[in-house]
Amino acid sequence: MTAGDWLPLLLIVPMLGAAGILAAGRVPNLREGVTVVTSLLLFWVVVQLAMSGAEPRWVLTEPLPGLQLALSPEPLGLLFALIASGLWIVTSVYAFGYMRAKHEAKQTRFYAFFALSIGAAMGVAMAANLFTLFVFYEALTLSTYPLVAHHGDDKARAGARTYLRILLGTSIGLLLPAIIWTHQLAGTGEFTPGGILAGHAGPTVAGVLLVLYVLGVGKAAVMPVHRWLPAAMVAPTPVSALLHAVAVVKAGVFVILKLVVYVFGMEFLAGVPLERALLWLAGFTVVAASTVALRQDNLKRLLAYSTIGQLSYVVMAALTLGTTAGLAAALHIAAHAVAKITLFFTAGSIYVASGKTQVSQLDGIGRRMPVTMTAFTVAALSMIGLPPTVGFISKWMILQGALEADQLFVVLVLVVSTALNAGYFMPIIHRAFFRPERAVAREHGEAPPPMVAALVVTAFLTLLGALAADILVSTLAPVMTAGSSG
Amino acid sequence: MTGLEHYNYWIVIALMMSGLYALIARGNLIRKLIGLNIFQASVFLLYISVGFVRDGAAPILAPGVDSYSNPLPHVLILTAIVVGVATTALGLALAVRIHGAYGTIDDDQLDRQRD
Amino acid sequence: MMEELIDVLLLAALLLVALQVIGSRGLVAAIMTFGAFSLVCAGLFVTLDAVDVAFTEAAVGAGVATLLMLAALQRCGGESEAAPRVHWGALVVVLGVGGLLVWGTLDLPPVGEADNPAHQHVAPRYLEQSGVEIGIPNVVTSVLASYRGFDTLGEVVVIFTAGLGVWLLLSSRRREEGE
Amino acid sequence: MILEHAQVLVVALPLLAVPVCALLPSRRWPGQFATLVAWAVLGFAVLLMAGVAEQGVLRYQLGGWAPPWGIEYRLDAMAALVQLLLALIAAVVFPYAARSLADEVDDGRVGGIFAALLLLLTGLLGIVATGDAFNVFVFLEISSLSGYALIAMGRRRRALVASFRYLIMGTVGATFFLIGLGLLYALTGTLNMDDLATRMPPLSASPTAQTALVFIVAGIGLKAAVFPLHQWLPDAYAEAPPAVAAFMAATATKVALYVLARFLFGVFGLEQLLEVPALQSALQGLAVAGMLAGSLLAMRAMDIGRILALSSVAQVGYILLGFALFSTAGLAAGLVHLFNHALMKAALFLALGAIVHRVGSGDLSRLEGVAHAMPWTMAAFMMGALSLIGVPLTAGFVGKWYLILAVVEQGQWWLVMAMLVASILSVVYLWRIVEVLYRRPAVLPARHEAPALLLLPTLLLAVANLVMGMHATPLVEWSMRASASLLGAGS
């Protein structure tokens, strides 16, 4: 098999998986088996593609002259595909424990749409041009909608409606015009190292375009288009993990990074005045979201606001411009993915095991659930940016990139937000391990084994990532250099 | 020669507008159709006025006559008159059915009866 | 000159009749006055040299249409109407449309001039050739039946369509019974 | 031999079939007969399309009289496209109607109803086929009268009122058109559209010509339901029998828009259009107002038929906007959207008809959970809805894409924003329907799919939306060609 043959499998495997899940719906064990096999298969396909090192191109269809629906791997896309498909395996395992323990209804539909949304995420990752990106971006929104609305009650529907309204609204209202405008200016929407807009757009037009793109990619949750993320907290925890770590928000920041590198080109973007304003907006989002998170008592909401802040780190790093900052942005996507999925896994485990959802209820829980809370601690350290975690390395690189680019503002944001991050994570760890347990509502230990296993794996990845960061950086470096010198 | 060059047109326009006014302003469906007929008949007059040639004869070929009125508008209007009466007939049939279904043919009262 | 005088007077009369139709109390009166309107129209067509149109208008407009209206009115019952009020919206629309039309006719060539563009193109051939090509003296009939025969076919289809529609509407009383 | 006369046969065939159809006994025969006729018409339309592709413009002199003295049939790329669209929609909707209409009316009238449907088709085909302006009026009235009669066949008594109001408005529109024609005739002495086009340029500054333009645009705009002349449309399409609504929504307004484009660009021409003060901005303003008003009204309507009808008002706005750009790209985009909108609206109305057939109502409050009973019908509805929103890879996307490109070409960003706002509004009003239909009621309805004869045409059109979204190139290229030939080299 040549590398080109692997590309269609990225879409076919999840779709066949979804079909298989529906077919096996009556037999839960078989259905779960299909899910795991599909996820493993998909991960294996992505690894094969990454190992081959080739950059083939697969054109699904050409609906309009010059407008292709095409997939083509490149290092950034492979990174995102690896994260999404890899974490899908873990999330599936976790979901078996969670969904069964909570006796959730409609599990077949849940796993089927889960598989479809992973397929859409693969499409986003490998999109060869803006049009393809848009198609799969919307497909991702639509395929995750039933997951967010899973509970089917009024609250879930209202949350899902907000989710849909903001994501569809921004993508149709801002992203689509930006894409069409880009086509009009550059005559193409193909992702090209070094960008396609240089020489076709003046600094003002490029600035307006950048604003449209950054706000139009609502999944990146830059304020003021972040409100869908807390609203989507009505979903079951594995969905939150999917949204925050595996596919949705990652797709958002990934798209912005891809746009900066392949559509604008870093060098061209440096001459765009409005670019600074967006950098400040991202920086503001980091600080503001962290401040809001400080005041949350509901653990999942706290994590949601923490995500908004962490995503804007990536956007901020991407907009800092420069090789180091670009690499830092890519690395932080990975770092945040493994750490945040661990945190959501622990939140879900706590809920399943003890029924607790609020931070203020967690006194002494570390003694009942030592494994879970240790994993939580590792992930929280990564969030704050402390060694020996991968979060430390990515944050350090953002700092380096900021210094290289003489962006004192970014440095300042980093310092303040790190303090804020510590401010909301440290008290939780302190409560869990050092405060005595209050009145015991019910006896409980750890969550079901699949859940614990999943969160241990992701916590290990958080540590392991620190060691693997080098490989990642050296793989991605050529892309960023092409971006800043091309 | 006189101030009457466009007299035909202007009276025709006044006629059209009185028909159009009746059609919009009156609530009774049959009256609306009467308004419509006046409106259309005035448009027919407009065409015939366009086709008129002073001192010309009706367009029936006769020896010794060399100036005729324009026959083409006559042809068109013959068709249009028939189309107009066909429309009126259909409209009246509808009015009869509406009366059967609602007990009234007044537009305002129809709106008050919700289904 | 005489012709023009008749034309002027008939047009003025027509306007008066039209206003009478609109202002009349009672539907029967309105329909009858409308019949009169059609007859005056037919008279005008004669003075404007459109004899065929005049016959048709007298037969179809004054005759058939009026009869149809009376028949319909009979089936709808003599309904009492609200007294007519001035409808300001309609007045605005009518004055706007009328104003536009007056402006639009300002540069039309005067009525009746033999060298108007309408008489220079297409029509002359009918007058000159139809006697030879078709062979009947009435040019209107020639054009109707031959040059623009397809319009006439369409006209027949229109009548058929209306007839079909009326039949579809009046052949069933199911709806009324159902409600 | 047959090929030579195909241009006339395509109109004559359904016309000749009318009396036969009216006299056919039994419930089923008229529908089946009309279906066969529609398929034959489709065959002719395809042949003619090939002929136009080869020869450019096809001409046929009726009765052998040369234009401008006789009436000429004239088929260019734009006309051939609309003709094919009419034939396609008829070929798909007639078999559907054969089942749904035959179930709705009492025995004696089935033949008459299909005769009226054939007359409607004849009228619309005639409008597209002819090259004579007055002939357009005659065929417009054939299609209108049969349309009024068909709308009045709706299930509720409200259909009668809707039909009457449409009759009044429609006749006023046709009469406005007639006034415009009269003024043009007074100026030029001709009725042949090509002949008119050659005689118009020296007259471009004449108030009479400009007034004629305004009256023709207003009259045809009324038939096309251009805002604010659209009031007749929501009632008419919501009350008509669903098969009739599907056919008319897909064809009648489209043909009116075709006539509008024909007169704007094929008779008056760009120079003349630019001469009329504020015409372009007025048309663009009306287009945008229609897009927004139609969508906003649709958000508040409760009846699905009404929602779909109001969305047509919005979609007519998109098409008109393409025309109002006065550019080759804009006209082409308008034509692409005209074609595709017919596909999606027909699919949606047919799906609605299948639902009404089973549930007996199109009112949102009574349709909770219907999707679980009729999954295939709903799949077709979803497809149509996605296409209407303009989701990529559906037909609806293609027209909007080219429309936006054409607007951007002129740098009119406010128009882009208006289009996108209207698109987002369409998401909202369609999502309302989808949400209700998929909501689970307390008692889940049993599986009760529509009969195959209703389902198959619906699914066929749904698939057509996908196919036209994935392989849009032929349609796009044909529309570009039609637009370029209509606007001439001068634009």
Q: Which chain B residues contact residue C75 at CB under 8 A?
A: 96, 99
Q: Least CA distance to D435: which residue of chain A?
A: A157
Q: Which chain C residues contact residue B81 at CB under 8 A?
A: 53, 56-57, 60-61
- Put residue C145 in one of left, alpha, beta given phi > 0 → left and psi -120 to 50 → alpha: alpha
Cβ distance B36 to D172 less than 8 Å, yes or no, reads: yes
Lowest mean pLDDT among D22-26, D298-302, D380-384: D22-26
Cβ distance B83 to D175 less than 8 Å, yes or no, reads: no
Cβ distance D160 to B36 less than 8 Å, yes or no, reads: no
C touches A (3+ CB pairs < 8 Å)? no
Cα C163 to Cα A351: distance, rounded to the nearest angstrom:
75
Q: Least CA distance to B69: which residue of chain C?
A: C49
D63 near B CB under 8 A: no
* Alpha-helix runs per DSSP H in D189-241: 193-199, 207-223, 232-239
C-beta neighbour count of B65 within 10 angstroms: 12
Cβ distance C111 to B5 less than 8 Å, yes or no, reads: yes
Subunits adjacent to chain B (3 or more Cβ pairs under 8 Å): C, D
C105 lies in some domain: no
Q: Residue D198 contacts by C-beta under 8 Å, 6 or more apart in sequence?
A: none
Domain boundary among the residues C56, C78, C100 is at C78
Name the helix (H) or strand (E) containing D58: strand D58-61
Q: Is the pLDDT of residue C179 over 50?
A: no
Cβ distance D393 to A63 less than 8 Å, yes or no, reads: yes
Look up the domain containing C131 and give its range: 124-173
Within a 13 Å sphere around the CA of D474, how many CA atoms are in the beta-carbon half? 8
Q: Which residues pair with D130 in a beta bridge?
A: D73
Cα A130 to Cα A191: distance, rounded to the nearest angstrom:
7
Write the single-letter amino acid at A344.
F
- The segment with the largest mean pLDDT, out of A434-443, C21-30, D35-44, D54-63, is D35-44
Subunits adjacent to chain A (3 or more Cβ pairs under 8 Å): D
Q: Which residue has the higher pLDDT, C84 or A366?
A: A366
Domain co-membership, C1 together with C74: yes
Contact status, residue B82 vs residue C155, Cβ threshold 8 Å: yes
Contact status, residue A388 vs residue A311, Cβ threshold 8 Å: no
Q: What is the dihedral of CA C124, C128, C133, C138, to 10 degrees?
A: 90
pLDDT of residue A1: 62
Q: Which chain A residues contact residue D472 at CB under 8 A?
A: 63-64
Q: Residue C142 contacts by C-beta under 8 Å, 6 or more apart in sequence?
A: C126, C130, C133, C134, C136
Look up the domain containing A152 and give its range: 3-485
Q: Is the pLDDT of residue C21 over 90?
A: no
Interface test with D, best of B12, B52, B76 (most D CBs within 10 A): B76
Cα A93 to Cα A246: distance, rounded to the nearest angstrom:
14
Candidate from D401, D424, D428 with C-beta closest to A64: D401
Cβ distance D145 to B86 less than 8 Å, yes or no, reads: yes
C158 near D CB under 8 A: yes
Q: Least CA distance to C146: which residue of chain D?
A: D63
Cα C89 to Cα B26: distance, rounded to the nearest angstrom:
12
C touches D (3+ CB pairs < 8 Å)? yes
Cβ distance B80 to D148 less than 8 Å, yes or no, reads: no
Contact status, residue C39 vs residue C15, Cβ threshold 8 Å: no
C177 near D CB under 8 A: no
pLDDT of residue D451: 87
Phi and psi, residue D489, nearest 5°:
-75, -20
> How big is the CA angle at D254 (ends D249 and D255), to the nearest 5 degrees?
120
Q: Which chain C residues contact residue D119 at CB under 8 A?
A: 157, 160-161, 164
pLDDT of residue A373: 93
Candidate from D70, D71, D113 with C-beta closest to C168: D113
Predicted confidence band at B2 (pLDDT cuts at 50, 70, 90)? very low
- Per-residue pLDDT of C140-165, as tens digits, reads 888 888 889 888 999 999 999 999 99
Q: Which chain D residues contact residue B50 at CB under 8 A?
A: 182, 185-186
The count of residues in chain A is 486
Candidate from D404, D435, D469 with C-beta closest to A63: D469
Q: Closest by alpha carbon to C104, among D207, B48, A354? A: D207
Of chain C, the percentage scoring pLDDT greater than 90 comes to 32
Q: Which chain D residues contact residue A69 at CB under 8 A?
A: 393
Predicted confidence band at C175 (pLDDT cuts at 50, 70, 90)? very low
- Cβ-count burial D46-75 (b if 16+ within 10 Å, e if not): bbbbebbeeeeebebebeebebbbbbbbbb
Q: Report which DSSP code applies to B113.
A: -
pLDDT of residue D491: 36
- Per-residue pLDDT of D470-484, as tens digits, reads 888 899 999 999 999
Q: How far is CA D254 from CA C179, D65, D250, D317, in A?
A: 36, 30, 7, 12
Cα C162 to Cα C154: distance, rounded to the nearest angstrom:
12
Q: Is the pLDDT of residue C79 over 70?
A: no
Q: Report which DSSP code applies to D204.
A: T
C88 near D CB under 8 A: no
Name the helix (H) or strand (E) containing A71: strand A67-71
Residue with tokens 């039946």: C145
- Per-residue pLDDT of D273-328, as tens digits, reads 888 888 999 999 999 999 999 999 999 999 999 999 999 999 999 999 999 999 99
Tokens of C139: 């040019």
Subunits adjacent to chain C (3 or more Cβ pairs under 8 Å): B, D
Burial of C22 (0-12, 13-18, 19+ CB in 10 A): buried
pLDDT of residue A442: 73
Q: Report the domain count for chain C.
A: 2
Residue with tokens 């006014």: B21
- Per-residue pLDDT of D237-250, as tens digits, reads 999 999 999 999 99
Q: Is the pLDDT of residue C123 over 90?
A: no
Q: Which chain C residues contact residue D113 at CB under 8 A?
A: 168
Name the helix (H) or strand (E) containing A62: strand A58-64
Average pLDDT of chain B, as a whole number: 87
The count of residues in chain D is 491
Q: Residue A398 contacts by C-beta under 8 Å, 6 or more apart in sequence?
A: A313, A316, A317, A320, A325, A328, A329, A332, A410, A414
C14 lies in some domain: yes
Q: How far is CA A384 from CA B113, D321, D421, in A?
A: 68, 53, 41
C163 near D CB under 8 A: no
Predicted confidence band at B36 (pLDDT cuts at 50, 70, 90)? very high
Min Cα–Cα distance to chain C from B65, Å = 11
Cα D322 to Cα A246: distance, rounded to the nearest angstrom:
42
Cβ distance C157 to D116 less than 8 Å, yes or no, reads: no
Within a 13 Å sphere around the CA of A322, how many CA atoms are in the beta-carbon half? 17
Contact status, residue A62 vs residue A69, Cβ threshold 8 Å: yes
- Per-residue pLDDT of D117-153, as tens digits, reads 999 999 999 999 999 999 999 999 999 999 999 999 9
* Alpha-helix runs per DSSP H in D276-374: 279-300, 304-324, 328-359, 370-373
pLDDT per residue of chain A (486 residues) written in tens, 0 to 9: 676 788 899 999 999 999 999 998 888 889 999 999 999 999 999 998 888 877 888 888 888 887 889 999 988 899 899 999 999 999 999 988 888 888 887 888 889 999 999 999 999 999 999 999 999 999 999 899 888 888 878 888 888 888 888 898 899 888 988 998 898 888 888 998 888 888 888 888 888 999 999 999 988 888 888 888 888 888 888 888 887 777 888 899 899 989 988 999 888 888 888 888 889 999 999 999 999 999 999 998 899 899 999 989 999 998 988 888 889 999 999 999 999 999 999 999 999 988 888 998 888 888 889 999 999 999 999 999 988 899 999 999 999 999 988 888 999 999 999 999 999 999 999 999 998 887 766 778 888 888 999 999 999 999 988 888 888 888 888 777 754 443
Contact status, residue D69 vs residue D41, Cβ threshold 8 Å: no
Cβ distance D62 to C150 less than 8 Å, yes or no, reads: yes
Q: Which chain C residues contact residue D208 at CB under 8 A?
A: 104-108
C41 lies in some domain: yes
A211 near D CB under 8 A: no
A411 near D CB under 8 A: no
Tokens of D312: 């047509």
Q: Closest by alpha carbon to D78, among D229, D276, D265? A: D265
Domains (ranges, CATH) in chain B?
7-53+69-112 (1.10.287.3510)
Min Cα–Cα distance to chain C from B46, Å = 10
pLDDT of residue B25: 87
Contact status, residue D344 vs residue D85, Cβ threshold 8 Å: no
Contact status, residue A192 vs residue A130, Cβ threshold 8 Å: no
Q: Least CA distance to A158: which residue of chain D?
A: D435
pLDDT of residue D444: 65
Domain boundary among the residues C45, C78, C111 is at C78
A205 near D CB under 8 A: no
Is the CA virtual torsion A462, A466, A471, A477 positive or negative? positive
Q: Which chain C residues contact residue D203 at CB under 8 A?
A: none
Residue with tokens 């669209």: D85
Instruction: Label the pairing between strands D72-75 and A58-64.
Output: unpaired
A touches B (3+ CB pairs < 8 Å)? no
Q: Is the pLDDT of residue D177 over 90?
A: yes
Contact status, residue A335 vs residue A344, Cβ threshold 8 Å: no
Contact status, residue A452 vs residue A349, Cβ threshold 8 Å: yes
Q: Which chain C residues contact residue B90 at CB under 8 A?
A: 162, 165-166, 169
pLDDT of residue C178: 41
Phi and psi, residue B104, nearest 5°:
-150, 155
Min Cα–Cα distance to chain C from B53, Å = 4
Q: Please confirm whether the linkage preceding A224 is cis (ω < 30° from 0).
A: yes
